[in-house]
Structure 1
Amino acid sequence: MSIEAMSQAEMRAALGQFASGVTVVTGLDDDGPVGFACQSFASVSLDPPLILFCADHRGRSWPRIRNAGRFTVNVLHEEQTDVCARFGGSSGRKFDGLEWSMSRWSTPSLPGVLLRIHADIHTVHVAGDHDVVIGKVLEFERVTDERPMIFFRGQFGISSSKSLQSA
């Protein structure tokens, strides 16, 4: 199918064939903690240590994190579907009733995640309806050894190769 004839739903379905991990990007501004679920996350460079994520222009959380200049990527494990749902929604009070702590980098850290990556915003590039955010890593913080949450074919939580074959 040509890209000209492809709808957004068809593009989503096509790209759903690529399995990805699931993260929650968090930050802190004068109004308090903020965050959003994010699947578009990757390593960019080892020297200097750079990572990237993509943020939708329509989101309310990303402008606040951008203004703060610093963020934490919380890498979710397969049992954290509740955390994923909380931060994947449009509710403005995602931290209400949620246990979390402040990192030494003054960013919210979520409990029980696989990994936390604390970073400063290095550069931001506009790419269609998203920003591609490059972050300079300040610290990696390994938290647990659970299996990762995976997003594949529109489903969260599938992480074993057996599950992927039957999906």
Structure 2
Amino acid sequence: TAVREKFRDALAHFGSGVVIVTAIDGDGAPAGMTVGSFTSISLEPPLVGFFAAHTSTTLPRVLHHGDFCVNVLAEEQHQLARGFARSGADKFSGVEWTAGTNGAPRLAGAHAWIDCSIDEHRPIGDHDLIVGAVDALAVPAETEPLLFHRSLFHGLRETR
């Protein structure tokens, strides 16, 4: 509809960071999905959140055990973001990772890692809100973040 198209177009002008949310699914296999709707929620207690469509086939796999890792992507990881945004593919093929404090995959080269346990999960509109209680975090290297704006990936450019 026209309203839906205007909505998507207007919100595409809002730049956001890019994360991949990962976990170990019920079969013991790594699962993950690219998310552009990630946010800090609270400092006391430390909480973060993200949204995923009700239709996501990956979300149930990510939420199975109640623990997940938010991998904040670095500028050069745009191909990884594209790969984890696809449905049905073996997203972890050729991807280097280590287990975080909760066992969820921490992707090599990420800008930052945030290990979480689910604090709240509820439907809102056509998406689910997942709130994570932060259990551990790390910034493995000082890199530049990956950004998403107007349906394209970008690096951070300093302005004065």
With the shorter chain as reference, the TM-score category is over 0.9
Whether 1:26 and 2:22 are equivalent positions in the alignment is yes
Runs ≥4 in structure 1, deviation > 6 angstroms? none
TM-score, with structure 1 as normaliser:
0.89
The gaps in structure 2 that reach 5 residues or longer are none
> Pairwise mapping of residues 1-167 of structure 1 onto structure 2 (< 5 A)?
5-7=2-4, 9-31=5-27, 32-161=29-158
Aligned residues: 158
- The DSSP-based 3-state class of the residue aligned with 1:80 is helix
- The DSSP-based 3-state class of the residue aligned with 1:81 is helix
The gaps in structure 1 that reach 5 residues or longer are 163-167
Counterparts of 1:89 and 1:146 in 2: how far apart (Å)? 25
Give % identity: 37
Cα displacement string for residues 53-89 of structure 1 (whole angstroms, at most 9, x for unaligned residues):
0011111111112221000000001110111011011
- Structure 2 residue aligned with 1:165: none
- The DSSP-based 3-state class of the residue aligned with 1:79 is helix
Cα displacement string for residues 102-122 of structure 1 (whole angstroms, at most 9, x for unaligned residues):
123111110011100000000
Cα contact 1:118–1:138 (8 A) shared by 2:
yes
